[in-house]
C-alpha cells in the first residue's frame, strides 16, 4: 500500500495569469486545472492527485496568484504561503521577464523551509528570458531555470527532466517502518486492539501499513487482538522476532510479552520513520518535570470525528494528569492548521504518529518548535514513558535513529 501521503507534493507558485494552471495541464496531458485569460481564476490552493509521465503518482497543488490584492486577496496569499510548509518541491512560474518583490519573497520562503525549487519562464514564445532577468535570479538562487510554453508544449520534456532533478529522492522513496530491524522469514506479531475509533469492518491505517511493511521486508505477519496474544504464544510456542502493539495497549501487552522479545508500538515506529525521533526521545522525559499550570499542546495530523475514546483529546490529557499529579492545561490543533499561540507558551508539545501526512510536513510543522527549544514528543513515546516501558519501546530503533 502506498497512500497519498507517500506521493511527492509539488506546488505551482507565481503571479496571476502567468500560466500556472496551463503548466499543470501540460504536465499531466489533461485539463485538470481551469484555464482562463482572466487573472485570478485560481482562488484557493487546489490539490490534485495525478500521474506525471516520467515521475509517477504525485500531488500537484495549484495556488492562487501571489500578487492578488484586496482583503480577500490577502487571505488567498496567506493560504498560498501556507502551502510551502506542506510540499517537497516548488515550481515558481514567471513570464514576460517579470521578476520582482513577489518572486523574491517566495524564494526566501522556499529557502527558509528548505524547499527545492524549479523556476519556469512560461510564455517564452511571447518573450524569452533576457540576460538581465537571469542575472537577477542568479543573485538569489541557483535553482534550475527552464524556458517553457504551455500553449505550444515547447520544452515539455525539459520541464519533466528538471522536475525529476529537483524533487528530492526522499519524496519518491517508499519509506519502511522496519527495514534493518526485521529480515527474511522473521515472524512479527501485530497486536491490534479494536475500539470505537477503528472504522467498522476495517483496520486503521497504521495497522494496514505495518502489515504491508512486514510483507515488503519478506517477513511473516501474525495479527491478533490484545486479548488473544498471550493465548497464541502459549498454544503455538512461537517466539516472534518483534511485537508491535497499539500504544494504548502498552501497559497490558508489556505484561504478557516476555522481556526477551522486542516490543514497540505502531506510533513509535511511525515516529522513527516520519518525525525527528531524537527530539521525540529527549522530549518524552519532560513528562516527569511538568508543573502545575503547565500548558501542553496536542498536535493531530488529521481531522476526524471525536469520540469519548479519542486518544489525543481525552486519553492522553487524562493520563498526563494522572501520571504527573499536576494541574495541566491542554490545547489541540488538528490537521495542518496554524498554531495560534506562541510556541514558547507550552511546556511540552505532543505530535501524533503522522500516518496521514508526509515526513516533510511533520518536520516542517515542528521546525519552529525545535528551533525554540520547546520539548516535543510523540503519542506513542509519551504513552510508553507513562507506562514505564519507554526504554523497551524505543530500543528496536536506537541503532537506526
Domain assignment of residue 85, yes or no: yes
Half-sphere exposure of 315 toward its Cβ, with a 13 Å CA cutoff?
17
**In this structure, is residue 11 part of a structural domain?**
yes
Assess if residue 38 is contained within a domain.
Answer: yes
Query: Which residue range forms the structural domain that includes residue 55?
Result: 4-171
Nearest to 24 by CA among 86, 113, 124, 93: 93
User: What strand order describes the sheet that includes 220-224?
Assistant: 220-224, 187-191, 242-245, 263-265
Beta carbons of 55 and 163 less than 8 angstroms apart: yes
Contacts 24+ apart (CB under 8 A), 45-49: 45/11, 45/79, 45/80, 45/82, 45/83, 48/24, 49/4, 49/7
Which DSSP helix (H) or strand (E) runs through 94?
strand 89-95
Q: Same structural domain for residues 27 and 144?
A: yes
Give me the number of domains the chain comprises: 3
Q: From 171, 204, 221, give the residue that closes a domain.
A: 171
Q: How is residue 129 annotated by DSSP?
A: P
131 close to 165: Cβ distance less than 8 angstroms: no
Decide if 365 contacts 378 (C-beta within 8 A): no
pTM score of the predicted model = 0.74
Give domain status of residue 386, yes or no. Answer: yes
Last residue of a domain, one of 215, 241, 268: 268
In a domain, 179, yes or no: no
Q: Which of 245, 268, 291 is the last residue of a domain?
A: 268
Asked if 137 and 194 sit in the same domain, the reply is: no
Question: Which DSSP string do the residues of 39-82 spell out, in sequence order?
Answer: TT---S-EEEEEEETTTEEEEEEE---TT--HHHHHHHHHHHHH
pLDDT tens track, the chain, 401 positions: 344 456 788 999 999 889 888 888 777 665 554 444 444 444 456 787 777 766 778 888 989 899 988 888 888 898 899 889 888 899 999 999 999 999 999 999 999 888 999 999 998 888 999 999 999 999 999 999 999 987 777 787 888 888 888 887 665 556 788 989 999 999 999 999 865 455 555 567 778 889 999 999 999 999 999 999 999 999 999 999 999 999 889 999 999 999 999 999 999 998 998 899 999 999 999 999 999 999 999 998 765 444 546 788 899 999 999 999 999 999 999 877 778 899 999 999 999 887 777 788 888 889 889 999 999 999 999 999 999 999 999 999 987 55
- Residue 49 C-alpha cell reads as 492527485
Same-domain check for residues 83 and 22: yes
Q: How many residues does the chain have?
A: 401
- Identify the CATH number of the domain in which residue 144 sits: 3.40.50.300
Judgement on whether residues 226 and 300 belong to the same structural domain of the protein: no
Amino acid at each position: 500500500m502506498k497512500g497519498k501521503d507517500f506521493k511527492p507534493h509539488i506546488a505551482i507558485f507565481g503571479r496571476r495569469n502567468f500560466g500556472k494552471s496551463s503548466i499543470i495541464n501540460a504536465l499531466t496531458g489533461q485539463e485538470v486545472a481551469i484555464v482562463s485569460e482572466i487573472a485570478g481564476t485560481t482562488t484557493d490552493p487546489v490539490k490534485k492527485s495525478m500521474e506525471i509521465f516520467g515521475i509517477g503518482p504525485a500531488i500537484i497543488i495549484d495556488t492562487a496568484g501571489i500578487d492578488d490584492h484586496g482583503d480577500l486577496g490577502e487571505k488567498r496569499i496567506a493560504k498560498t504561503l501556507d502551502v510551502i510548509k506542506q510540499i517537497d518541491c516548488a515550481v515558481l512560474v514567471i513570464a514576460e521577464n517579470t521578476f520582482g518583490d513577489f518572486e523574491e519573497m517566495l524564494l526566501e520562503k522556499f529557502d527558509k523551509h528548505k524547499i527545492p525549487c524549479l523556476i519556469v519562464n512560461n510564455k517564452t514564445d511571447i518573450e524569452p528570458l533576457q540576460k538581465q532577468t537571469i542575472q537577477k535570479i542568479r543573485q538569489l538562487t541557483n535553482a534550475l531555470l527552464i524556458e517553457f510554453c504551455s500553449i505550444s508544449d515547447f520544452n515539455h520534456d525539459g520541464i519533466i527532466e528538471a522536475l525529476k532533478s529537483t524533487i528530492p529522492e526522499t519524496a519518491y522513496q517508499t519509506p519502511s517502518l522496519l527495514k534493518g530491524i526485521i529480515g527474511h522469514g522473521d515472524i512479527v506479531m501485530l497486536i491490534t486492539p479494536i475500539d470505537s475509533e477503528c472504522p467498522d469492518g476495517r483496520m486503521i491505517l497504521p495497522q494496514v501499513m505495518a502489515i504491508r511493511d512486514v510483507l515488503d521486508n519478506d517477513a511473516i505477519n501474525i495479527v491478533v487482538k490484545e486479548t488473544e496474544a498471550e493465548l497464541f504464544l502459549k498454544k503455538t510456542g512461537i517466539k516472534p522476532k518483534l511485537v508491535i502493539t497499539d500504544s494504548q495497549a502498552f501497559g497490558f501487552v508489556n505484561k504478557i510479552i516476555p522481556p526477551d522479545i522486542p516490543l514497540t508500538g505502531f506510533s513509535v515506529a511511525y515516529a522513527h520513520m516520519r518525525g525527528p525521533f531524537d527530539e521525540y526521545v529527549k522530549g518524552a522525559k519532560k513528562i516527569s518535570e511538568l508543573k502545575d499550570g503547565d500548558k501542553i499542546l496536542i498536535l493531530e495530523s488529521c481531522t476526524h470525528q471525536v469520540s469519548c475514546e479519542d486518544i489525543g483529546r481525552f486519553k492522553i490529557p487524562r493520563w498526563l494528569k494522572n501520571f504527573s499529579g499536576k494541574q495541566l492545561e491542554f490545547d489541540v490543533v488538528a490537521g495542518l492548521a496554524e498554531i495560534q499561540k506562541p510556541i514558547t507558551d507550552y511546556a511540552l508539545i505532543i505530535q501524533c504518529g503522522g500516518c496521514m501526512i508526509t515526513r516533510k510536513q511533520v518536520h516542517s510543522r515542528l521546525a519552529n518548535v525545535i528551533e525554540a527549544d520547546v520539548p516535543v514528543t510523540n503519542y506513542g513515546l509519551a504513552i510508553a514513558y507513562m507506562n514505564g516501558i519507554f526504554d523497551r519501546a524505543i530500543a528496536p530503533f536506537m541503532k537506526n535513529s
